[in-house]
Structure formats: C-alpha cells, structure tokens
Amino acid sequence: VERPSGESEPMRRITPRLRIHAFGWIAAGLFLGSHMARIAVIAPHPDDAEIGMGGTIARLAEQGHEILIVDMTDGCPTPVGDRATRLKEAAEAIKLLSPAPGKGRAVRRILLDLKNREVEHTIQARHRLAAAYRAHQAEIVFVPHPLDAHPDHMGGNAEFTDLLAMR
C-alpha cells in the first residue's frame, strides 16, 4: 500500500487473511474492492479512533464493512470530563461515524475497561483483547503507531502484536 508521498505504509501481513495497519496514511491506500471485511480498530482511549482515523472509519462503514472499535480504557481520569461524560461522548461519536440507515453498516464499539495510563503487557489485558479480537474475527486491524509517544498507545500496539505472536 502506498501513501501519497510514495513511501510504503507500515503494514504487516500476519496471516493470509489478516492485515495490520498503524494509524496514519490509511485512507489513501486501503482498497478492498467489493469484499466486505470485518475490521477492528484498537483504541487505547475512547477518542483515539476518531482522532486517528475517524474519516476512514466513516467511509468504510458507509461502504458496508463491519467496523468494531475496541476501546481499551475509558480515558479517565482526565482533566476534562468524567467516566459518564466520556462514555456518553463515545456513544455519540458512534452515531456520527455510522452511515444513515440503509446506507451502509453501523459502527460498533466495546470497552475492555483496562486502567487508563496503565495499558501494559499483562495477562488480563491480553485476555480481554484476545476475546474481543476472536469474537469479531477481524480480517483487518488498525492499531496505534508503535512509536506513538503516549504510553497507552504504545501499550495497545504491543498488546495486539504480542497477542498475534501467541497464535
């Protein structure tokens, strides 16, 4: 997959049926043809998927792909808002990302409820992520970039990479 500058997108083919993308440069390069894919977006916090690739999520859902956003934490504590507010905002975002009825497929979202600012390599985190991944049977997975400066973003990428290594 090429990004606009001509450089290759960081994509790894793990199995013949699974592709992993780091957030960034995705909309320009992802072409699925007429195949309707099951796509998972691993988001350490409830706003990460929207900030990192909200337009791509909306476009893929409009095309009819089955999108699941997996929020690893609720993003709290935060200086702006509390858990109830963050969860309400996440639910409202799903409505905005989903196409109008009859125009595609609604985006779904789940919360793993790991502790914010502490997404680390733990058995609990890996089990929760594995359960979500297996239940959705994703063919394409978007994860935060491995060199993202936020520890939870790096942890989310590492957790999913470790999960695949254990397959």
CB 1 within 8 A of CB 13: no
pLDDT at site 98: 97
Which pLDDT does position 22 carry in this prediction? 56
Looking only at the bridges linking them, the beta strands covering 18-22 and 11-15 are antiparallel
CA distances from 56 to 12, 60, 121, 151 (A): 19, 6, 28, 24
Residues of the chain with pLDDT under 70: 1-33, 166-167
Place of tokens 């609720």: 74
pLDDT in the model for residue 18: 56
Instruction: Kindly state the tokens that stand for 139.
Output: 């063919």
